[in-house]
Structure 1
Amino acid sequence: MAQHLHPLPPERFLWEERLPGGCHWSGVMRRGSALRLTDLDGRANVAALFFNADEKLERYNMADTLKAQHTAYLTAGHVCYSDMGRVLCSIVRDTSGWHDTVCGVADAALVRAKYGVATYQTHRNAMHRNGRDGLLIELGKWGLGKRDLVPNVNFFSRVMADEEGRLTFDLGHGKAGACVDLRFEMNVLVVLSAAPHPLDPRPDYAPGDVMLTAWRADPPGPDDRCRNHCPESQRGFYLTEILFR
């Protein structure tokens, strides 16, 4: 367990796994569990999708998540809403401070144009992977496909807009050891890709590794920061909790 980063109570620890830069992962996080994403070297980007594990037609909705919380990015205190108005997960801790919600993922053509060709046949595990294909591979393991590839969150990436709406990737935002803690309010299928952000201007293909650390979380009480962030969050928690009564 990555105790040197941000200690967790040993009795609550569930599991830990390192996600290499460029690779992808998926798994079910149960209601009442939490998952910490840690940027190990300051170059991580984690594209994430969330689905109700018990009914996968219900999934993360970017537009409702931003509109309900009057924000364009995610950080501590925010929640990720499903398209049914329920809370999939809450951001209970965040040392990064800003996570992109609007830029999506790079596809094979973009990665090839930016970084050149590096296939498994020539580079083995150092091959150039892209976020779109990584997410699709993981979705396929759960009976999902292209139509389920909805707008995602890009954890650890900050994108700024100028007065004319042009987007710029913030190269100074990434910090080694930055982490974000997600508490799951439903049984959630989590799908991740650690491939580079589509707007990352760096010429070298060197996406950062991410540590995934899971544990049993405290349940959200009446004074919970995420629950009380705004009236819509209170409603989202109520709609979620009646599923489990």
Structure 2
Amino acid sequence: MSETTTLAPQTGTGFLLRAGDVLTVIDPQGGQVSDLFCFAADDHDEKLSSGRTIDYANTIFLTTGHLLYSNRSRPMLTVVEDTCGRHDFLLTPCSQDTFDLLYPEFDGAYHPSCLENLSTGLEPFGVKPDQIGTTLNIFMNVWPEPGGELHIDPPTSVAGDRFVVRAEMDLHVGLTACSAEKSNGGVCKPIEFSVTAAGDAGAAATGTGVPGA
């Protein structure tokens, strides 16, 4: 039986995803972003690259069939299923600085952030916060004006939407239930995910739990 892990609102985790394993990220309630970042498990100098991926895909709207590349132009993940169709690969993970600069209503108070949660989740693998770059912001609805201004609207995802990727190399993966209220329609909600080992039946849609380090 598949096992699904729930990330509580404004939390995150880190785990090993082996080549051929399939990661399914689910928005159980709708309207919630999940930040993803990853490193080659055998060399953290190789990591997910927004620039390389957008360059090779020639689009900012990544979906089924697209490859997600490393900074060394090697495929890290393949998108094998996407029921939402709108995600962001332009904006960095929210950080304390994000809330200090863009959320004046918090008046500089501490706020959970995706950068903190990714850093905590990936710390057991030896990852430092400064190594984490632009995340794939699953279900995030970012779109540009012709003049270049970016809009962040509520996610278009509905309850049960999923984004499924297959690992093309062994990876250390960080995943969050995004902490930024403005990115999630004003309310932060949980995210669910599962991992299916390479070769298991139904690998594109179901999972068998989180693999160990």
- Structure 1 residues 217 and 197, CA gap change in structure 2 (3 angstroms): farther
Q: CA deviation at 1:117?
A: 7.3
- Given residue 163 of structure 1, which amino acid in structure 2 is its aligned partner? P
Written as runs of structure 1 = structure 2, the 5 A alignment for 1:84-233 is 84-111=72-99, 113=103, 116=106, 128-171=111-154, 173-197=156-180, 200=183, 202=185, 204=186, 206-218=187-199
Distance 1:172 1:142, change over 3 A: closer
Larger radius of gyration: 1
SS at match of 1:98: coil
Task: Return the offset for 1:30.
Answer: 0.9
- Equivalent position SS for 2:130: helix
Task: Name the residue aligned to 1:60.
Answer: 48
Deviation at 1:139, TM superposition (A): 2.9
Change (3 A) 1:145 1:172: closer
Q: 1:47 corresponds to which letter in structure 2?
A: D
TM-score by length of 1: 0.73
Greater CA deviation, 110-119 or 177-186?
110-119
Query: How far apart in 2 are the matches of 1:168 and 1:73?
Result: 14
Using the alignment, how far apart are the partners of 1:150 and 1:59 within structure 2? 8
Relative to 1, partners in 2 of residues 1:136 and 1:198: Cα closer, same or farther, differing over 3 Å?
A: farther
Equivalent residue runs for 1:40-79 within 5 Å: 40-79=28-67
Aligned equivalents of 1:135 and 1:201: distance in 2?
18
Partners of 2:104 and 2:54 in 1: CA distance: 30
**Residue type of the alignment partner of 1:213:** S
Q: Could you say what secondary structure the match of 1:141 adopts? A: helix
Structure 1, unaligned runs of 5 or more: 1-9, 120-126, 220-245
Q: Could you tell me how far apart the structure 2 residues matched to 1:141 and 1:109 are?
A: 24
Gaps of 5+ in 2: 201-213
- How does the TM-score come out when normalised to structure 2? 0.83
Amino-acid identity (%): 22
Q: Deviations over 1:27-76 (max 9, x none)?
A: 00111110100001113111111111122221111111110111112211
Distance in 2, matches of 1:73 and 1:165, equals 15
What is the DSSP-based 3-state SS (H/G/I as helix, E as strand, rest coil) of the residue aligned with 2:52?
helix
Please say which of residues 138-147 and 72-81 is displaced more in the overlay: 138-147
Which amino acid is 1:154 matched to? Answer: N
* Structure with greater helix share of residues: 1
Deviation at 1:154, TM superposition (A): 0.2
Aligned partner of residue 66 in structure 1, secondary structure = helix
